Chains A and B, each alone.
Chain A
Amino acid sequence: MRALLALFACASLAAAAAPATTAPLEQQFQQTVRPFLAKHCLSCHSGASPAAQFDLKAYTNLAHVTKDYPRWALVMERLEAKDMPPKPMTQPPAESSHQVVTWIQALRSAEIKRSAGDPGLVSARRLSNAEYNYTIRDLTGQDMQVTREFPVDPANPAGFDNSGESLTMSPALLNKYLQAAREVANHMVLTPTKLDFAPYPMLVETDREKFAVQRIIQFYSSQPTQYADYFAAAWRFEHRANLRQPTATLATLASLAAEAKLSPKYLQMVYQALKTPETLGPMAKLQQMWQSATAEELVAKTAEMQAFVSRIRLRTSRQFAAPVVKGLPPGSQPLVNWKLKEYAAHRRESDPAALQNESDPPRVAPTIPRYPGLHQEGAPRWAALMAKARVDDMDLVVPTAQRQAYEAAFSRFARVFPDVFYVTERGRYFPDDSQDKGRLLSAGYHSVVGFWRDDTPLMELILDEKAKKELDRLWNEFDYMAQATERTWTQFWFNQAGAVDGKGAEAAAERPVGIAITDPPAIMGMRDKFLLKAAADPKNDPLAPTAINHHFARIDSILRGLEKQRQDAQPLHLQSLVQLASRAYRRPLAKPESDDLLGYYRELRTAKELSHDDAVRETVVSVLMAPDFLYRLDLQDSGLTSSRPAKAAARVAGRPLSSLDLASRLSYFLWSSNPDDELLKRAAAGDLQRPEVLLAQTRRMLKDPRVRGMATEFTGNWLTFRNFEKSNSVDRARFPTFNNELREAMFQEPIRLIEDALQNNRSVLDLIYGNSTFVNPSLAKHYGMPEVKSWTRVDDANRYGRGGLLPMAVFLTLNSPGLRTSPVKRGNWVVQRVLGEIVPPPPPVVPELPHDEATSELPVRDMLAKHRENALCSACHAKIDSFGLAFEGYGPVGNARTKDLAGRVVDTLVNYPGGSTGTAVAGLQNFIREHREKEYLTNFSRKMLAYALNRSLQLSDEITVEQMVAQAPAKGYRIQSFVEAIVTSPQFLNRRLAEKQPVSQLQPLQPTKVQSTKAKL
């Protein structure tokens, strides 16, 4: 920390060698500058409508000029270039111009010295809409985009929408925040251990159910349960010597297996089974297949083996039916659940009845009964289907004398190979699910909601201890979140329990009086009715009472368990709430603060009588409405750093940010989002200010996917395409290839390129001269590139006239007024946005160009040439047009072209200011490389610094900008060197002491006006 400060001190000292007195400057202004202006400038630049909306008469003293320095920088530039006064006017003597130029330069250095080390005023700022969205995404894990209907954030003069200067608050906006906070809180779901958030609102039970079910399905489908993969891995182990992997083990093979990582313990089991000699039965046959496999046909062979196992195991799987009780439908839950339980418990067993003795007559396929009607037993039809499948399966025919040995062999086989590992769908007549598709995890009940877990083989054979716990957790949380058991029980009561009273299969039981349906007496009372029913007829299945007892005990125990779990979970939820607040506030909560937060929760529970869930949700709303969350505030008293002013550098008129504030500044710079746990941990440890820690964190964060936040927000605002996603300026009838998909791809292209540059630390020069870009299928087609499957980096994009930022379709389209190109807009974009030159706005009355290129008499190029014949216009257009004409090889939607819309061959030969020439984009790139590279680097540095600091730049920042540019060649122009220079700059690390004089704001001329009027050109 101290070292870093010393470093800054040196930097500042160099600049602030001697405090300049401003008296002579003031004097010169009055005696030399003002008379010059009066003589040569004010005839145009004053009055009611001054030229370029620039009134020079308004500056009456030095302070005024200083405050508006950027415009004066422009005066200097224009005078130096002898652009002003324009040629037809009387030209001032060179010496007088020079005096003014020298004065402006002197003013600049004086001001830089005076304000050296001033970190600038960064006021409290609310999160921008984009930052709010990213922050919510990182707080909740869900990208909800809740600000989609917020008013657009205004940008500051630097063009960025992340500064306190421009981000204001209003009652209307506050109302929107309240709405957004509730929307976010509606996504909240309480698990037994914490607060979680779902991708959609969790207020409706069917949505909670969907969320919980999807998580389990996802878990199942990501498990390695393909037999073929295990056979192949076992084979590779067996032949490891021949495969030149003599040291391979089953464990390494399991983790190396091509597609999925296999379960080591199951691979071991399969390998053992394949190696343990069997002489008869399915395993013997499988072993033969395995042994005969060769490297060339391994895939086909193992697939064949898998098909064999699946077939045998399906046909030897065991079958179960619901116990029969007279007067109850077989689908009655207490009965049918027994069947489901039995299925789940016997998946690693072989049905001896599947085997047929050689001596028996051949099997005859039975007639398949109709698909059962409602409330009929489905087992007979399934039995018939199975019997039919077994007919002619010679693998099931066994020598009569060896039947016993075969049965044992089939049993051993089934122990290793379950008929299925888990069940994801279940219909009414499970396992005959031909009619009911897509009932995920369903128990198959008629009309009543219900779920059933059937994954014993997966648990026993595939999963390790950790995964088993995870799956148990998911099922438990399913019940906890979606109240699955409780809802099943209630729906059963109100829809089917009446069957036990003889009211028919679909009738409600009476509403209980004085107790809830979920209370034990209600559950046990219902059980007793079912037991009575089971005992009523001697022909009833003797298993029925067991099934009934088991069923009701299970429901009661689950409901009681959940009740307790809910009780136990409450303190955990409150902990989780405090953690959420801490991440939302981007700092640890002091004890009184967390007490206060929980106090609010308790007040909602007691005074407002809210349930636990609702009170937690309301508290989340209050957290998201707190100024601590909505605003980035640099607290005066936040601990974790010495809050004393930095003594080491007396001229640094600020004091170091606290580690926590620095962490936020860093994360909003690099991610447009809040600090993650790691960063907060470093901040809490208090060592984030140590240069090596700060730089290590910066590098880590640049590699993180969240850096796309910076790629989008920084680049999008810098290069003015941030709102292109929503832009609708293209005439789609004339450009039918332009659709939403292409628009989105265009929007993404520069973001991908910058993201790649940030993550891989590429040169910022490549952004201009490079041959690479990123395309997706839609964009590749638009560019005439070979097909790609998804977003792909293309390193020879120059072959297709692309590469780097300049020829990207998004900019070419953005700067075309519809049915023609606009070299003026395109040129202006290059000059202002890329090179950072300030171009004054055009005069109010300018000739309009025809809007449709196809029907214009002259090519755009020639029309502009005419326009430039007017010397007044030429002053600016000479600076702009040539840059835009370099892009004439691209049509209004950035499409490569050789002819314009009227069929005229386009000309891309360009004469640049200063006399050099170049052709097309390559020519432009060359021109920039030879004449304007420094301007580009300076502009890039300025923009990134302004973005990082959340404020417009001021003259005191010039030293940092100069340093960024100066160090670039030695650092290979790597983008990271720019980022690192910023995060270690005094401006970034400090904040201004409260009562400091406002310093001049480095406000570039407002480019907005230029854009609005130049649309006509």
Chain B
Amino acid sequence: MIQVVLPRNLQILAGTGRTVELNVDGPVTQRAILDVLEAEHPALVGTIRDRITKKRRPMIRFFACEEDHSDDPPDEAVPEQVASGKEPFLVLGAIAGG
């Protein structure tokens, strides 16, 4: 199971806890994770990435395994620790506004 950690605002919007567990079939990529996340929680469509282009929203970041993966190609495999469920895939709002 993939572990996705959501920021507080999106937890409330989607009606989830801090961590969402997802079953992702096939190669585990950012796109695959977010496709499943949005399918299971439609209220999140458009809040993490653009609903049409699927591009990450400018003030959203993706962290995993103590690294910033925000600009990784969306079809690139995520770290093995994330794919195996040992480490979470963190979605968070960028630090902005003081």
A binds B: no
A residues lining the B interface (CB < 8 Å): none
B residues lining the A interface (CB < 8 Å): none
